[in-house]
């Protein structure tokens, strides 16, 4: 392909589209390493997905309902608090505390938020943590827990230790050396690795075959990235994925109304990325947020999620057809 200047002169017309595209594709096909599962000829292990419904404790449910009545926060703030309480009391506490402190700094009062901040200590149940403990004990093998929140990560470390389960944290702020050290601790000593979202990047953990999605992100690609930490080349076992969702909450909406309809957890590596790039949306995460914030009823929310799922399923079919055509072209070019 020559040096950079020769390449740009031959193939680059602007930032978004190349020129001499067919010639470039032919050259790339000669040297490209096929890494989609269907192209490798390798028999991959299975994904076994289990949805785990979580029932709030009485105090958690009462506090969730109190959040729904809060008039101090905008819709996005309420949505954030609901998601955080679904994760842990500690995660919601940090947001309420920050809301009140910012208001005081601006000379404002948030009576509703202050009332909730004072009452959050009355939330004495952690239904998700109890269910995670039950599953970890039953598995009796290494498990990765993914959470969206640092406060939840810290709580889970404490909670598991109180119940005799060894764990190590993993998050994006760790330097390379500390990440490698935590990986070794997990592989050789601890039963559980508790990772925040950013911590799930850049680490391969094929020696583990169990994932608990403690919190569900709104971006489907981030779920694939989580699973890809263990469901990759070198994995010898079928991968078991436990998806937690608290019933009658925003979490259940995301799981039931979107993720299960697009068969997210059965998508193969590479396929989901193709799907999302074909969807003409600024961001799937923003679109999900918009649905949750601006639906006036449960029925309207379902219709909007049905529409989004239909778009993603159509993109999935296009991605599969495109991949098949590329495989045929590559075979023809190499023959």
Residue 165, pLDDT above cutoff 90: yes
Residue 119, pLDDT above cutoff 50: yes
Cα 132 to Cα 160: distance, rounded to the nearest angstrom: 9
Mean of all residue pLDDT scores within the chain: 80
Higher pLDDT, 304 or 186: 186
Q: Among 93-102, 150-159, 238-247, 279-288, whose mean pLDDT is lowest? A: 279-288
pLDDT for residue 35:
47
Q: Is the dihedral of CA 74, 80, 83, 88 positive or negative?
A: negative
Higher pLDDT, 310 or 15: 310
pLDDT for residue 266:
59
Number of CB atoms found within 10 A of residue 210's CB: 20
Residue 33, pLDDT above cutoff 60: no
Residue 39, pLDDT above cutoff 70: no
pLDDT for residue 141:
94
pLDDT for residue 4:
62
Q: How far is CA 122 from CA 117, 125, 152, 182, in A?
A: 10, 9, 17, 34
Q: pLDDT category, 171, cuts 50, 70, 90?
A: confident
Closest C-alpha to 167, from 146, 194, 203, 137 = 194
Residue 32, pLDDT above cutoff 50: no
Q: What is the mean pLDDT of residues 127-152?
A: 96
Q: pLDDT category, 299, cuts 50, 70, 90?
A: confident
Phi, psi of 186 (to 5 degrees): -65, -45
Tokens 């944290």, located at residue? 169
pLDDT for residue 208:
93
Q: What is the mean pLDDT of residues 240-268?
A: 79
Cα 205 to Cα 235: distance, rounded to the nearest angstrom: 9
Residue 307, pLDDT above cutoff 60: yes
Domains, the chain, with CATH or none? 47-55+126-323 (3.40.50.300), 58-122 (no CATH)
Q: Among 56-65, 183-192, 316-325, whose mean pLDDT is lowest? A: 316-325
Cα 22 to Cα 45: distance, rounded to the nearest angstrom: 35
Q: ∠ CA(51), CA(221), CA(211), 5° rounding?
A: 40
Q: pLDDT category, 255, cuts 50, 70, 90?
A: confident
List, for residues 199-225, the tens digit of each pLDDT value: 556 678 889 999 999 998 877 777 778
DSSP 8-state assignment for residue 295: -
Interhelix angle 298-334/21-31, rounded to 10 degrees, is 80
What is the pTM for the complete model shown?
Answer: 0.76
Residue 161, pLDDT above cutoff 70: yes
Q: pLDDT category, 40, cuts 50, 70, 90?
A: low
Q: What is the mean pLDDT of residues 252-273?
A: 66
What is the chain's length? 335
pLDDT for residue 269:
46
pLDDT for residue 26:
62
Whether the Cβ atoms of residue 126 and residue 147 lie closer than 8 Å to each other: no
Residue 31, pLDDT above cutoff 60: no
Cα 303 to Cα 291: distance, rounded to the nearest angstrom: 10
Whether the Cβ atoms of residue 250 and residue 82 lie closer than 8 Å to each other: yes
pLDDT for residue 216:
86
Number of CB atoms found within 10 A of residue 30's CB: 9
């Amino acid at each position: 392909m020559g040096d950079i200047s020769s390449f740009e002169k031959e193939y680059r017309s602007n930032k978004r589209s190349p020129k001499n595209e067919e010639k470039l594709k032919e050259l790339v096909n000669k040297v490209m390493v096929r890494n989609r599962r269907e192209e490798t000829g390798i028999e991959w292990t299975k994904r076994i997905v289990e949805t785990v419904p979580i029932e709030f404790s009485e105090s958690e449910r009462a506090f969730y309902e109190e959040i729904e009545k809060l008039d101090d926060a905008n819709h996005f703030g309420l949505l954030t608090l609901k998601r955080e309480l679904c994760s842990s009391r500690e995660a919601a506490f940090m947001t309420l505390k920050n809301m009140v402190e910012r208001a005081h700094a601006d000379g404002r009062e948030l009576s509703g938020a202050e009332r909730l901040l004072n009452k959050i200590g009355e939330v004495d149940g952690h239904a998700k943590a109890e269910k995670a403990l039950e599953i970890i004990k039953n598995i009796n093998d290494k498990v990765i827990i993914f959470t969206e929140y640092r406060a939840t990560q810290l709580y889970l470390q404490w909670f598991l230790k109180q119940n005799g389960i060894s764990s190590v944290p993993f998050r994006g702020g760790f330097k390379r050396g500390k990440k490698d050290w935590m990986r070794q601790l997990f592989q050789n000593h601890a039963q559980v690795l508790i990772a925040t979202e950013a911590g799930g990047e850049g680490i391969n953990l094929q020696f583990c075959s169990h994932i608990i999605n403690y919190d569900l992100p709104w971006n489907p690609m981030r779920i694939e990235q989580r699973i890809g930490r263990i469901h990759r080349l070198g994995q010898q076992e079928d991968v078991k994925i436990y998806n937690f969702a608290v019933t009658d909450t925003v979490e259940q909406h995301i799981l039931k109304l979107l993720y299960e309809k697009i068969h997210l957890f059965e998508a193969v590596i590479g396929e989901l990325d193709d799907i999302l790039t074909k969807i003409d949306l600024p961001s799937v995460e923003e679109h999900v947020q918009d649905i949750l914030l601006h639906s006036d009823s449960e029925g309207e929310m379902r219709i909007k999620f049905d529409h989004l799922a239909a778009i993603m399923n159509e993109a999935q079919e296009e991605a599969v057809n495109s991949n098949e055509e590329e495989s045929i072209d590559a075979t023809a070019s190499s023959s």
